[in-house]
Structure 1
Amino acid sequence: MLVLAVDTSTPAVTAGLVALDDSGHRVLATRLTVDARAHAELLTPHIMECLAESGSVPADLDAVVVGVGPGPFTGLRVGMATAAGFADALHIPVYGICSLDAIAHQVGPDRELLVVTDARRREVYWARYRDGVRFDGPGVEKPSALEVGSAAVIAGSPSHVDLFDVPVEPVESPSALGLVLPLAAAILSGAAPEPIVPLYLRRPDAVEQAARAR
C-alpha cells in the first residue's frame, strides 16, 4: 500500500510517501522545509515532488495520514484541508494522528517522554508519554508553568526544549514514518478511520469584528 503522510502542525512543512505491506515498510520519498509562513505555498509542491521521486502518480495512493495537531489554526488547517482534498478526490481513506504522538513514536518507548511544540503566544503544546503511550495531554501552557514531572527526556520545538532541565532528543517535528507507523495496522487492515478533527486547543487569533465586540 502506498500512503501519503503530511503534517503542518509545526513550523515544518512535511510530506512523505511510505510503502506498507505485511512484511514491513519503506520510505520512498520525503520533503521537509522549516518555514512557518509557507505551509500553503509549499505543501502541495512537496507532495508532487515526492510522487515524482518515487515514480508514482496520485492515483497510486491507497491512504492518507495527516497530523491533526495540536497546532496554530492557520498552519494546521492547510495540512488537514490538503489531506482531505486528496482523499476525497481519490476516494481513499484519510487517517488523523495527534502530531505529538508522531514525534513520540520517533523517539521510542524506552523512556518517559515530554513532547513540546511551539504554540506561539509564548506558550507550548505538550503531551506526556510512558512506554510509548500518551498518558497526559495534549494541552497548551506557558513553559514556566509546565512541570517536567518524571519525564526522562524531552523532544520537540528546538526553541523550547532547552527551557526544561531534562536531556533532549533531537526530534523536532513529525516525520512521514512517525505519522504512518502508529496507524500501520489500521491502514493495512482497511479499518474505517475516524473523522479527522483538528486539535486547536484554543480559539483562533483572527475573529470577526462582531464576535470580538461580544
Structure 2
Amino acid sequence: MLLLALDTATPAVTVALHDGDRVVAEDSQTDARRHGELLLPAVDRVLAEAGHKLDAVTDIVVGVGPGPYTGLRVGIVTATTFAAALDVPVRGLCSLDGIAYAAGQAGLEGEFVVATDARRKEVYWARYADARTRITEPAVDRPGDLTEPLAGLTAVGAGAVLYADAFTDVRPELPRHQSAGALAALAAERLRTGGEFLPTTPLYLRRPDAQVPANYKVVTPK
C-alpha cells in the first residue's frame, strides 16, 4: 500500500504518504487563502521526499470537511482527479475525525469536542467518545450556542482556541488544524479493520460565502 492523503478543509494545506505501517512523508503549510496554489507543489515535495512517483500510489484519502467552500473543493477535486487518472480508489473522511485522531496520538483520552473556525463568527464541530469514535454529526453553530450542551468537555481545534470563552477546557497545545499524516494513519487503520469511509461529497454545511447578487442581470449576446 502507498496511500496519498490530502486535506484543504482548514487553513492547513496538508499532504502525506503512508505505506500501511507508518507515515513516510508529510508536508503542511498554513495559509487560508492559497489552497489552490500550495496543494500540488506539496504533493510533489511529499513524493520526492518518499522517493516515489505519483503512479506508485495505490489509494487516496481526502478530508471532505466540513470546511469553507473554496478551500474544501480544491482538495476534493484534486483527490478525485488523481484517482481517476491512476485508476485507484479514493475515500473520504470527515476532516474533524483527522484532528480528533491527531489529538489522541498526542495523548488526549476520554470524551471531547473538536471545533474548527467556520468564519462568520461560527465553528464547525463534532463530539467524540474517544479519538476514533465520533458520536455526533458534524455541525456549524455560533460558539455561544454550544456553551451549555458541551459544558465540561475538553475542546481542541482552532475554533475552540479562537472562541475559548465558549468552551470549558480548551487545549491549545493539541493540534489546531488538520494533519494529513493523522488522516492517513486513520485511513490505514480503517482499511485494515474494515472501517467505514465517506463518499467524496464535500460537507459544506452552509451556502458558500460568495453569492450571486439577487438583482444580477444576465446579459446574453444578440
TM-score of the alignment, normalized to the shorter chain, above 0.5: yes
**Cα offset, 1:27, TM superposition:** 1.4
Which region of structure 1 is more displaced relative to structure 2, 67-76 or 173-182?
A: 173-182
User: Over residues 17-52 of structure 1, what are the superposed CA-to-partner deviations in whole Å (9 max), with x where a residue is unaligned?
Assistant: 1111xxxx2211111111000100000000011001
When normalised by structure 1's length, the TM-score is 0.88
Cα displacement (A) at 1:183 = 2.5
2:151–2:168 CA contact under 8 A, matched in 1 = no
* Counterpart Cα distance in 1 of 2:71 and 2:60: 18
Offset from partner CA, 1:91-123 (integer Å, 9 cap, x none):
001110000011111122721111000100011
Indicate the residue corresponding to 1:119 in structure 2: 118
Identity, % of aligned pairs? Answer: 46
Q: Is the strand fraction higher in 1 or 2? A: 1
What is aligned with 1:134?
A: 134
1:110 aligns with 2:109: yes
Gaps of 5+ in 2: 218-222
Structure 2 Cα separation of the partners of residues 118 and 211 of structure 1 = 31
Q: Shift in Å at residue 150 of structure 1?
A: 5.2
| Equivalent in the alignment of 2:176 | 172
Q: 1:59 to 1:112 in 2, by over 3 A?
A: same
User: Relative to structure 2, which stretch is displaced further, 73-82 or 170-179?
Assistant: 170-179
Query: Structure 1 residue 45 and structure 2 residue 41: aligned?
Result: yes
| Structure with larger Rg | 2
- Asked if 1:82 is matched to 2:78, the reply is yes
Amino acid paired to 2:156 = A
User: Counterpart in 2 of 1:10?
Assistant: 10
Question: In the TM superposition, what is the alpha-carbon distance from 1:189 to its structure 2 partner?
Answer: 7.9
Give the paired residue count: 209
Larger displacement relative to structure 2 (40-49 or 101-110): 101-110
Match of 2:158 in 1: 157
Q: Which runs of 5+ in 1 are unaligned?
A: none
Instruction: Indicate how the Cα distance of structure 1 residues 85 and 191 shifts in structure 2: closer, same or farther if over 3 A, else same.
Output: farther
Query: Which one-letter code corresponds to 2:187 in the other structure?
Result: L
